[in-house]
Amino acid sequence: MEWNGVLDHYFNYLPVKERKNIVSLSEGNSPLIRARNIEETLNDDLKVYLKYEGANPTGSFKDRGMTVAVSKAVEKGEKAVICASTGNTSASAAAFAAKSGLEAIVVIPEGKIAFGKLSQAMMHGAKVVQIKGNFDEALEMVLEISDDYPVTLVNSLNPNRIEGQKTASFEISDFLGRAPDYHLLPVGNAGNITAYWKGYKEYYDSGKTGRLPKMTGFQAAGSSPIVDGKKVENPETVATAIRIGNPASWEKAERARDESGGMIGKVTDDELVNAYRTLAASEGVFCEPASAASVAGLFKMDGTDYFDQGSVITCTLTGHGLKDPDVAIESSEQPKTVGKSVSEVLEVAGL
Ligand code: F0G
């Protein structure tokens, strides 16, 4: 099958008017990987699939939304885009802006975005502004700026972002030939859970699927405003991508949870890192720490009576592991250095 990105493939479901305005990096069509090794370790009888969004061109799910947001900006004759970001949105905005010829301005919390993501924004030629504040404060700033100046906001408050991101639900349903029974994913600013739910509902309403999944989101325990029912002033977690204390789509996430009969829970950093390492070591899938919230949540709910036996579960892995090599290296056994003799190498290799 020829693949030219989510706008080309799902054009009739998306808001861009003319195909000539599409700005695409051939995003989407990401792998849906059966996680048989993980399935075997579970108490519940479940079929588990990983939607590996790290395979997108900039290494995260943000590309699905950004192709629509930037194409619409081009269609409207805009000149610049702006976003606040924990890293992935800025990387994606910078790349799509580079492709389209628009200018990108990205506002990020200093020292709190993974290095791979920072390098992307810089390489794609965005104007990178670091603030001595967190993501929530950066988002307030870009909202104010985009109100007052001729720059288009490309955070997920821009509905075009949600439109694009809903295509992940379409792909999953198309690949499986049905919607899953449960969909698990990390929750940060809460745009993605909103988008997935919208996508599943649209496919259901158009008769493409005959069921709706229970939307099951997970926040990091140090950044869990939705679970705790209150804003977090100083969110903390190893998963910097979801270090968010006041999600923009808070109510929409609650609606997705409640309409679908699902839940939003929290996982500790230890649980996150355990799932992150298990995915890499037993399934061969390297995602970034925040992404592993979905599978950490699967482990947490396994053996409670949350899942019906025999269910089909999809877990979104939102970003690529190479985005944040620091956490990977810090949480791993360090490599041993030896001299130049074969015998020393053999000893370390255990041969
Ligand atoms: N996973 C990753 C890897 C992310 O980068 C994000 C959000 C999420 C999960 C949460 O998705 O916000 O839609 O609930 N990253 C944003 C950013 C905030 O700026 O890159 P959400």
Q: 97 with 198: CB under 8 angstroms?
A: no
| Cβ-based burial of 136 (10 A; exposed 0-12, middle 13-18, buried ≥19) | buried
Nearest protein Cα to ligand 1, atom 19 = 85
Pocket test for ligand 1, best of 51, 58, 60, 141 (most atoms within 8 A of CB): 60
pLDDT, residue 1, reads 79
Report how far ligand 1's centroid is from the alpha carbon of 113 (Å): 12
SS3 49: strand
Strand order, beta sheet including 263-267: 32-34, 46-52, 311-317, 182-186, 214-220, 263-267
Residues 6+ apart with CB under 8 A from 94: 104, 106, 120, 121, 123, 124, 125, 126
State yes or no: pLDDT of 6 exceeds 90. yes
Name the average pLDDT for the chain: 98
Give the alpha-carbon dihedral of 291, 320, 279, 30, to 10 degrees. 90
For 1, which DSSP code?
A: -
Q: In this predicted model, what pLDDT tens digit does every residue of 51-71 receive, in sequence order?
A: 999 999 999 999 999 999 999
Minimum CA distance residue for ligand 1 atom 6: 241
Ligand 1 atom at minimal distance to the Cα of residue 91 = 20
Q: Residue 125 in 3-state DSSP?
A: coil
* Average pLDDT of span 294-302: 98
Cα 63 from Cα 305, distance rounded (Å): 35
CA–CA distance from 154 to each of 90, 94, 247 (Å)? 9, 11, 15
- Name the pTM for this structure: 0.97
How many Å apart are CA 265 and CA 232, to the nearest integer? 15
pLDDT for position 256: 98
Q: How far is the CA of 243 from the centre of ligand 1 (A)?
A: 9
Q: How far is ligand 1, taken at its centre, from the CA of residue 89, in Å?
A: 7
At residue 301 the predicted structure's pLDDT band, cuts being 50, 70 and 90, is: very high
Counting atoms of ligand 1 from 1, which one is nearest the CA of 92?
A: 20
Cβ burial, residue 101 (10 Å; 0-12/13-18/19+):
exposed
Kindly report, residue by residue over 185-220, the tens digit of the pLDDT. Answer: 999 999 999 999 999 999 999 999 999 999 999 999
Q: In the beta sheet, which residues pair with residue 216?
A: 184, 263
Are the beta carbons of 103 and 127 closer than 8 angstroms?
yes
Cα separation values, 179 from 153, 170, 217, 259, Å: 32, 9, 17, 16
| Pocket lined around ligand 1, Cβ cut-off 6 Å | 60, 62, 85-89, 156, 186-192, 241-242, 288, 290-291, 318-319
CA 342 / ligand 1 centre spacing (Å): 46
- Minimum-distance ligand 1 atom for the alpha carbon of 185: 9
| Tens-digit pLDDT profile for residues 101-134 | 999 999 999 999 999 999 999 999 999 999 999 9
Query: Two tokens at 2?
Result: 């020829």
Tell how far the Cα of 177 is from the centroid of ligand 1, in angstroms. Answer: 27
Distance 157 CA to ligand 1 centre (A): 13
pLDDT at 139 over 90: yes
**Residue with token string 């799910």:** 61
pLDDT at 234: 96
Which region holds residue 291: left if phi is over 0, alpha if psi is between -120 and 50, else beta? alpha
Enumerate residues 6+ apart whose C-beta is below 8 A from 136.
Answer: 235, 244, 245, 246
What would the pLDDT profile of 74-98 be if each residue is shown by its tens digit?
999 999 999 999 999 999 999 999 9
The Å distance, Cα 90 to ligand 1 centre, comes to 11
Confidence label for 281 from pLDDT (cuts 50, 70 and 90): very high
Ligand 1 atom nearest to CA at 84? 19
